[in-house]
Amino acid sequence: MKKITIMSFLLVSSMSGIAAEDNLWDEDLEGEWGEETADSNWSGFLEYGIGIRKQADNLFETKQTLNEARLYLENEWDNDGVSLNLKGEIWHDLVLSESKLNFRELSLSFSMGNNTDVKIGRQISTWGTGDLVFLNDQFPKDWQGYFNGRDDNYIKAAANAIRIQNYNEWADIDLIWTPKFTPDDYINGERFSFFSSIARENIGGINQINAEEPKSKLANGEIALRLSKNVSGTELSVYAYKGFDKRPLGATEEFRPTHHKRNLYGASVRGAIAGGLYNIEIIQENALEDSNGRNPLVNNSLQKYLIGYESEWLPKLNVSFQYYIERILNYDEMMTVSFAPEFEAPKYRRWLTNRIRYQALQDKLTINLFSFFSISEDEYFLRWNANYRHDDNWSYTAGINLIDGKEAHTFFNQFHLASNAYLRVRYNF
């Protein structure tokens, strides 16, 4: 509670700063350009969002997927080449009836020598070329944010990590070490139900996943490495990751969900072609605790392939497509030992995604229609929204998350009762 008071104080003080600044923008902007330093610059937003399910999920009392008020604040302090970065937020979530405090960033960053940048502490990391399809990006994600109507930024979650980026002639080296394994904020039954192949139906509400996480020791930390090079505008990258399944896709011998060891190797290419942009990305995921696929408790090794193209069809109308294939290795062995083969994923999962982005009214209105179509599992997920940025302060977003399919257990359709419409109002300051 003490923290909340501090935050509110900071909010009030930063708002009074805004009022003074407005004077700079009287018709003439002359003479108001004093030395500005970033160190007294609090900024952030206040937001309220509400999301309602299209159809009730009987495992939950409320039809709401989102009903929360959030205060987000950020600031940066620089001293002698070292920056302290803070991005913090408090919110009250009426769906889960809880208040939370979280730091999306609380880090120190500095340069070592001429070519190395270091960031230590809580931070969000992203790499890879996919649009809402993640292959080599093994950094924590919040899958509730995928569905419940929060801003897109909330798809990514923070982790406590050390990031070292070295830039040199032959390649840029980007190393991210997360000493304590940080799983995704996966769908665990708390807000949305999911299909359980043991229960043979969706579970959630009272029944939630209580996963066993890897023991907190240095050997169980996550290491992610990227080497990248820009060759005349074509971006080439190779990746490696040592860690665990980011979601508890396996089970212990006592049938408790858990994260198994996983090493990943991948590559990507991104560049311009025919007035548009293409991206190609691949990854090999090795299930270290079940290299031949004969252990039904361990998620099998996989290969994933992605190819995408984005172009401008009309001014301010951008259209992109991605084709994604996920191939389960040792599929026959897996099916032989599976407890519920009828609910296993297909050997080749195939998705087509499409994004239509249109901006109008001098970019104040942005319409974003992202759609997943699963060819292999006959299901879809429409993630559509419209944002109206009224001015530098007020912004409104309305959208739908619509999921449907043929079978109850498939990747997206198990969440069909999570389908919702939402509205968010944000005040930036």
Partner 1 sequence: MNNFVKAGLVCIGILSAQIKAKEENLSIEEIIKKSYQACYYPGDDGQRKARMLIVDKGGNKQLRQFNIFRKDVEEAGDQNFLVVFEKPSDVKGTVFLVNKHLDSEDDRWLYLPGLDLEKRISASDKRTSFVGSNYFYEDISGRNYKLDNYELISEDNDYYRVKATPKSLDGVEFSHFELTIEKNTFMPRVISYYKGEKLYRKAEILELKNVDGYATVFKSKITDFETGSSTLVQFRKPDYDVGLDDSLFSARSLRNPPKGLK
Residue 142 sits in the site that holds partner 1 (CB under 8 A): no
Q: Which is nearer to partner 1, 376 or 428 (CB)?
A: 428
User: 181 to 220, contacts with partner 1 by CB under 8 A?
Assistant: none
Which residue in 5, 20, 33, 219 binds partner 1 (CB under 8 A)?
33
Residue 392 sits in the site that holds partner 1 (CB under 8 A): yes
Which residue in 67, 107, 123, 193 binds partner 1 (CB under 8 A)?
123
Radius of gyration, alpha carbons of the chain: 23
Give the dihedral of Cα atoms 145, 149, 154, 155; nearest 10 deg: 50
Which residue in 150, 270, 383, 416 binds partner 1 (CB under 8 A)?
270
Size of the site for partner 1 (CB under 8 A): 54
Q: Which is nearer to partner 1, 300 or 395 (CB)?
A: 395
Residues in the chain: 429
Residue 13 sits in the site that holds partner 1 (CB under 8 A): no
Q: How far is CA 324 from the centre of its chain?
A: 18
For 133-160, give the DSSP string: --SS--S-BBHHHHHSS--GGGGB--EE
For residue 102, list its beta bridge partners: 89
Residue 111 sits in the site that holds partner 1 (CB under 8 A): yes
Sign, CA dihedral 234-129-304-256, equals positive
Task: Look up residue 127 and give its two tokens.
Answer: 């790499």
Residue 48 sits in the site that holds partner 1 (CB under 8 A): no
Backbone angles phi and psi of 285, in degrees to 5: -110, 120
Residue 125 sits in the site that holds partner 1 (CB under 8 A): yes
Residue 172 sits in the site that holds partner 1 (CB under 8 A): yes
Q: Are 247 and 260 a contacting pair, CB within 8 Å?
A: no
Residue 80 sits in the site that holds partner 1 (CB under 8 A): no
Residue 254 sits in the site that holds partner 1 (CB under 8 A): no
Q: Are 333 and 287 a contacting pair, CB within 8 Å?
A: no
What lies within 8 Å, CB to CB, of 429 at 6+ separation is 11, 14, 15, 18, 43, 44, 45, 46, 393
7 C-beta neighbours (distance < 10 Å), count? 18
Residue 38 sits in the site that holds partner 1 (CB under 8 A): yes
As measured in angstroms, the least distance from the Cβ of 307 to partner 1 is 15
Given the rule CB under 8 A, which of 25-33, 189-197, 204-212, 291-299 is the region that contacts partner 1? 25-33
> Which residues contact partner 1 by CB under 8 A?
25, 29, 33, 36, 38, 43-45, 74, 78, 83, 109, 111, 115, 117, 123-127, 152-153, 155-156, 165, 167, 172, 228, 230, 233, 235, 270, 272, 275-277, 279, 310-312, 315-316, 318, 359, 362-364, 389-392, 395, 428-429
